[in-house]
Amino acid sequence: MTELLTETTPAPATAKAAERRRLESDESLKLTAPELKDSPELKDSPERKKSPERKDSPELKDSPERKDSPELKDSPERNNSLKQDSQCAAASDMPSSQTTLVQTTCPYCGVGCGVDVSCQGEALNRTPVKVTGTPEHPANYGRLCIKGTHLLETNSLHGRLLQPHVGGRATTWDQATGKIADKINQVISQHGPDAVAFYVSGQLLTEDYYIANKLIKGFLGSANIDTNSRLCMSSAVAAYKRAFGEDLVPCCYEDIECTDLLILTGSNAAWAHPVLFQRMSRARLKNPAMKVVVIDPRATETADLATLHLPLKPGTDAYLFNGLLHYLFTNDLLDERFISEHTNGFNEALASARDWNPDSVAKVCNLSLAQVNQFYRLFGKSQSAITFFSMGINQSNSGVDKANAIINCHLASGKIGAPGSGPFSITGQPNAMGGREVGGLANMLAAHMDIENPAHREAVQTYWQSPTLCTKPGLKAVDMFSQMAAGKIKFVWIMATNPVVSMPDRRQVEKALQQCEMVVVSDMVSSNDTLAYADIALPATGWSEKNGTVTNSERRISRQRGIMPPPGEARHDWQALCNVAAKLGYGDRFDYNHVSEIFAEHAGLSAYKNNGQRLFNLAGLSSLNRAQYDRLAPIQWPLGQGDAAGSPRLFGNRQFATADGKARFVAITARLPTQQTCDRYPYILNSGRSRDQWHTMTRTGKASALLNHAAMATLAMHPQDMLDSGVSEGELVTLQSAGNTGNPVILPVAAQSGQRRGECFAPIHWSATWGSHITLGALYSSATDPISGQPETKHGAVSLVKTRYPVHGQIVFSDPIVFDKVTKQVEYWAKQPGQYVQSARVACHKNMHELAQSVMPLVPPTATYISRFTESSCSMLWLQDNQLVGVVWLSAQTAQSYAPIPLEWLDAIYDDCTVTNTGRINNLLNGIADAEFLQGPLVCSCFKVRQQRIVTAIEQGCNSVTALGSTLQCGTNCGSCKGELARLVNRHSRHSEASTTPTVNPILAGESA
């Protein structure tokens, strides 16, 4: 790369502040188009914290305006916000003239479900009106989970980022990308390419990922591009590479129907991958001889399907599988011919496992000897076995070793490369696999090539015709933010992810973004925890507008097709990257007229100088024209030249991607988690997914229906631990850890008998956007796996004590601005948005009457005010034009008495527009909801079936999940609630009176294949 002229480097402590002041005051950023005005979207985000010790520094010179920079040729036609809002209107408001079907892919987990979207209107004025599963898609065969079912409810323009912003002010794309290009040039000239970093996401499409990787590695010369997939499955990637020579998932979903033994470890598939879990349930129904083993410290809904549940001590999985390897050897259950002819390293792996017999395994894993022996016998005697592993294995300080311990057992028994057998990593994101294909991790090149391999570097640089190429691996996610905090990284571009929430050690991430001279964030939303630190915010397209491909957990490439044109000034991520590349002088290498050209280039690179050395090969797709690309049906790689069928599973020929074609055993030394409990921090903290939410809720949080099952984050504890700690259901507890230097985390407690004693569980989704003290990532340290760099976010050590506030209650307002102002009057709040109103649980140390008085001036004075005060409680109600404006309920009693008013009831009142009769007003003041909303917690979100209706049906004879579905419809759509239904059947059916252990699994009872 041509060396650039340098300026004097600003001091690290002052450069960020200087850059911020320059951006905020830059006259060149004032909008010239009369229709574009300053937007308040980013101004209302939390103030960026600045270090008080920072001093003035020389301002960076403004580069000349780049008027001749070519805009992208195929920039999508822009429609204004009002137009797309009307496109998201209800189907009943639309003319029934023209209906079209667009087939696309779900944007949530790694199952990769096909989605059929029925639309009305012409292509550039199309309105999606209905979402169903694609019946012929091999990943889901028409099924969708509750999140996929409610996709259209998340598609409004409310909260969307619709214009580029620099320094909090709306600007043009040309100006924003010019600033980005100038800063990249300045940083590289002064500090070198490794002072630049990209942090991207498994929610990008493969084509977006490819361009980001190409730009930074091949044209900027840095490998500092990492992804939130580092937090998801990088341990599995490293384990596959160690064992097979390449990142290769050998299995496919069809293996579920073929296997004798299904093992799930570190996976609550019933909630995290519900469509795949329903396939597992159906497979067991069709094959009663099939056994299911669930290895999980918690008794989750997934465990309800199990023949055997192993509630092992957290972090001891490698001991369990090392013991299995030793058991296979001592009981003559090895496939000695396969080991001899197709593997290396068996003796070394066996030697590392010799100390782990069933008795020693039982002790370290805190299991009974009978449980361990039963598992080992099941694996040893079965003709086929498939092991699904996910975050509980990967998110560990030894996740790679744990995954290799699993793979070792499959190699030793020969249970690989055949139907129904193999180690199967299930990813958590829609395109984590696609990111792996294009080299989206810091330690990879594109097309499964290696940075350390000179021949691979030469091939990639030649194919790209790039001026440079990174020569060493870049910084992995945790290290990237650590170096940023130390002032080594001066520019970061974050795309489609929210690392302030998802990364461990939140305070370190916040410090890093404060320190970094320029933070660019590309996102759909106008506000989240990470955007609060953005110097430049770029509006990205979302699920309904994106056009490209994704690859699911079984290596199946599917098309994601745009349903609507991008709203406002939103652009695809690849377009934003290409625009910046052009302004850096690389326009001729990033000049694409259509996304299909990027895919063809990506596919071509996979075949370039491959010669059968890499199994990742898309040669059969490298010559697709635009029309063929648009029609591309789901297909699995490898796809050699002329191959139209794809490859469902790998290694059937017993050939692996190593130099000698043999798989490698890896000697494993099991070890316990880094974050261990002690007297000061006596509880183990586990975290994971909630059933109806995904990631940091920037999408699912917009659908009120998805908040009905779990309205807010809670801390699950064993009932006896709650008793010992003096806390009751719903009371607030304060969590603290050794590494958290900021505010503590405060959550309400929920009793769960499926928790092990001394352990607790919290969902990952809620964040500071959703509450005053919801910063779960701050409780985890930056401990990582030394090979993969994946953080240990399944095992923290925390203290917890009851949180004591003298006043607590609930607030509800229809105006979000008023709602936000009221939350600022309390110390603790946790919100739940409804369809029409927003609600929050609140608590504070103010006097109840003092708090009530502080709320009064925040409500419009034109509203009618009604109140009721007693010595220990008060309620205040505001109405305007017969509509609910707001309600506040406060109590000076203990938090144990807190019972939330159902938000659905309040939404219904607002929608009804008739808050006039005395009875309704009294009910509001007294917090007494209508009877139909007092049927217990919502179990089935699809059909809004509450617990009490289900219990009544069970008591009247519905003693299976199928019977409940026939009577109430619950469980008949997405199936996500089937586990909960099964538990209710177990607890309340008549046969439970005679035995607490039913002879027939209620998930399966009464169902037909």
Percentage with pLDDT > 70 across the chain: 88
**Mean pLDDT for the stretch of residues 30-59:** 35
> Which pLDDT band holds residue 80 (cuts at 50, 70, 90)?
very low
pLDDT score for 496: 97
Note whether 224 and 216 are within 8 A (CB).
yes
Residues 6+ apart with CB under 8 A from 955: 988, 990
- For residue 987, the model assigns a pLDDT of 87
User: Whole-prediction pTM value?
Assistant: 0.89
Average confidence (pLDDT) over 143-162: 94
pLDDT, tens digit, for every residue of 243-286? 999 999 999 999 999 999 999 999 999 999 999 999 999 999 99
pLDDT of residue 23: 58
- DSSP-assigned letters across all residues of 768-831: TTTBTT--GGGGS---B-TTT--B--S-EEEEEEE---SEEEEEEESSHHHHHHHHTTSSEEEE
Burial state string for 547-584 with b = 16 or more CB within 10 A and e = fewer than 16 = bbbbbbbbbbbbbbbbbbbbbbbbbbbbbbbbbbbbbb
Structural element, H or E, at residue 515? helix 506-515
Torsion sign, CA atoms 936, 937, 943, 949? negative
Is residue 40's pLDDT more than 50? Answer: no
- Which region among 394-403, 659-668, 875-884 has the lowest average model confidence (pLDDT)? 875-884
> Which of 438, 430, 514, 7 is closest to 216 using CA atoms?
438
Q: Rounded to a whole number, what is the largest CA-CA distance in the chain?
A: 85
Q: What is the pLDDT of residue 918?
A: 79
- Give the three-state DSSP class for 884: strand
Distance, in Å, from the CA atom of 275 to the CA atom of 457, rounded to the nearest integer, reads: 40
Sign (positive or negative) of CA dihedral 292, 294, 299, 303: negative
CB-based burial of residue 593 (10 Å sphere; 0-12 exposed, 13-18 middle, 19+ buried)?
exposed
Does residue 94 or residue 805 have the better pLDDT? 805
DSSP tag of 273: S
pLDDT surpassing 60 at residue 96:
no
pLDDT exceeds 50 at position 324: yes
- Amino acid at residue number 419: P
Tell me what percent of the chain is helix, strand and coil, each rounded to the nearest 5: 35, 15, 45
pLDDT over 90 at 71, yes or no: no
pLDDT in tens, 546-601: 999 999 999 999 999 999 999 999 999 999 999 999 999 999 999 999 999 999 99
The residue among 116, 135, 145 whose CA lies nearest residue 940 is 145
- From CA 771, how far away is CA 745, in angstroms rounded? 10
Mean pLDDT calculated for residue range 801-817: 95
**Token pair for residue 90?**
């209800």
- As a residue count, the chain comes to 1009
Q: What pLDDT is recorded for position 996?
A: 38
> For residue 483, is pLDDT > 50?
yes
Exposed e or buried b per residue across 40-54, where buried means at least 16 C-beta atoms within 10 angstroms of its C-beta: ebbeebeebeeeeeb
Whether residue 79 is predicted with pLDDT greater than 90 in this model: the reply is no
The tokens describing 242, both together, are 């160690």
Which comes out higher in pLDDT, residue 70 or 595?
595
Per DSSP bridges, beta strands 715-717 and 745-751 are parallel
Q: How confident is the model at residue 919 (pLDDT cuts 50, 70, 90)?
A: confident
Q: pLDDT over 90 for what percent of the chain?
A: 78
Q: Are 969 and 940 in contact (CB under 8 A)?
A: yes
- Name which of 316-320, 642-646, 714-718, 836-840 the model is least confident about: 642-646
How far apart CA 868 and CA 926 sit, in angstroms, is: 9
pLDDT band at 758 (very low <50, low <70, confident <90, very high): very high
Average pLDDT over residues 517-532: 97
Q: Which of 255, 252, 323, 239 is nearest to 663 (CA)?
A: 239
pLDDT tens for 188-215 read: 999 999 999 999 999 999 999 999 999 9
Q: Can you give the pLDDT at residue 326? A: 98
288-322: buried (b, 16+ CB within 10 Å) or exposed (e) per residue? Answer: eebbbbbbbbbbbbbbbbbbebbbbbbbbbbbbbb
pLDDT at 15: 56
Give me the mean pLDDT over the 224-231 stretch: 96
Following CA atoms 943, 948, 954, 958 in sequence, which dihedral angle do they give, to the nearest 10 degrees? -20
**pLDDT band with cut points at 50, 70 and 90 for residue 986:** confident
